[in-house]
Amino acid sequence: MTMISKKIIKSKNISNASTDGWLKDHCILIKDNLITNIMPESDLPNDYSQSHEIIDLGDSFALPGLIESHAHFQFSATPDAYKIYFEESDLQKMERAKNNAKTALHSGVTTIRDLGAPNELIFPLKSLIDNEEIDGPEIFPTGTPLTIKDGHCWFFGTIANNSKEICSIIEKQLKLGATHIKIMASGGYFTPSSNPRISQYSFETLRDVVNFCNNNDTYLCAHTLSNESTKSCIDAGVHNIIHGRWFDKSLDKSYKFEENYSKKISEKGIFVDSTISKHLLEYESKLKGEKQRKPNPNVIKSEPTLEEIINIFRRLDQDNVDIIGALDMGMSQAFFDKCVASAWAHVEWLGFDHWKAIRSITSLNAKALKIDNYKGSLKKDYVADIVSFSNDPTLNIRNLKTNPSSVIKAGKAIKINGQII
């Protein structure tokens, strides 16, 4: 039996093209994987049921498929993620990655950017999903990140010490299928041998790499936690700042935030992946008395308070910096069904209005990934990625549940009214 390539998705509430209001009693017309029209249900022709498969989502709230901008498919999202990684075989890591992909898709994530994984894991995983051999979101991968000896994520990164080596590796990554490039501009929490307070690359190196990427139409993301490295990333003009923290070099101080750099980020159009949602999930986990990850020894004496972190991102928001939804999936408490936590944190901690928070995990993330000409919104000629929820998330952001009512990826029904297809 030939499957009907045309579908009509009905819902009482459908996000409009700008993702800032509801269309009442409308329907989405789909052919193959694309939206062909969105119209009032009352305008449908009388014979539509003969030529289209009808999927009725009922009294639901339909949004564009969720876009997660920061994931690591190989990790367990537990406090012991670092230890577990070294204990598992390559086969076990791949099985974990497959399960993480399935979990993400069923939670409404139809598009995901992996910001660092072994090449031998992430590119085969993407192929399995693209060929519909397994379920999962569409992946935009960086593959192995660029780092230094014993630096942040050295154990699945590629070691590069200068701009010449870095640019050579970038060329190899692009040939493998990388859609973005990740460089570790500073040390990180997750790697005990690295120091989050210290730059791993000089401003001059970062500037050379940015110029190379710009000349080769390549997207550069930079992990940065130190004051020095964050300023260098901004001055060099990286395209996407990851974390964007401001650790002081001194172990006796927490942050050294320089407010003038807030406007610089905005003026340069740099997207900021705050991963503040991971802090929210860790905070709520700690309140429950659950086991927590061990802090990096280089920050334990003077780790910044949540208030310090939140106030900096509030300042960035005031200066119109694009703060994108980014969970850091795979890290402690950042489970692969928790993409919506970014919207929760943006409302509850940063004071976003509900629609703005929803856009931070849909249309804004599409813009940040440079795919907003065909993803991230419900409009004609866009990929038919749709997720629906039972209750209105614009009234209570926590109505964005980790287990949505329905998920449609590229026109294919994955879950409808609670039932996995």
Taking only the tens place, the pLDDT of each residue in 287-316 is 999 999 888 777 767 888 999 999 999 999
Q: How far apart are CA 241 and CA 183, in angstroms?
A: 10
Q: For residue 197, what pLDDT is reported?
A: 94
For residue 273, list its beta bridge partners: 242, 324
CB–CB of 174/218 below 8 Å?
yes
Q: For residue 178, what pLDDT is reported?
A: 98
For residue 147, list its beta bridge partners: 159
Q: For residue 4, what pLDDT is reported?
A: 58
Which CATH number describes the domain made up of 69-368?
3.20.20.140
Taking only the tens place, the pLDDT of each residue in 76-86 is 999 999 999 99
Q: For residue 81, what pLDDT is reported?
A: 97
Q: For residue 294, what pLDDT is reported?
A: 85
**Contacts with 45 (C-beta within 8 Å, 6 or more apart), sequence order:** none
For 189, phi then psi, to 5°, come to -60, -45
- State the 10-residue block means of pLDDT for the chain, 421 residues long: 75 98 97 96 85 94 98 98 97 98 98 98 98 98 98 97 97 98 96 94 98 97 98 98 94 92 98 97 97 82 90 98 98 98 98 98 98 98 98 98 98 96 90
In this structure, what token pair is assigned to residue 223?
Answer: 């992990």
Strand pairing class (412-416; 406-409) = antiparallel
> Per-domain residue ranges for the chain?
6-64+377-420, 69-368
Task: Name the E strands within 33-116.
Answer: 34-40, 53-56, 61-64, 66-71, 109-114
Q: For residue 383, what pLDDT is reported?
A: 98
* DSSP for residue 199: B
CB–CB of 152/183 below 8 Å?
no
CB–CB of 396/87 below 8 Å?
no
Q: Do domains 6-64+377-420 and 69-368 have the same CATH topology?
A: no
Closest CA to 284 of 235, 232, 231, 344: 344
For residue 184, list its beta bridge partners: 223
**Contacts with 24 (C-beta within 8 Å, 6 or more apart), sequence order:** 12, 13
Q: For residue 300, what pLDDT is reported?
A: 67
Q: How far apart are CA 126 and CA 370, in angstroms?
A: 19
Q: How far apart are CA 219 and CA 183, in angstroms?
A: 11
Q: For residue 281, what pLDDT is reported?
A: 98
CB–CB of 388/63 below 8 Å?
yes
Class of domain 6-64+377-420: mainly beta
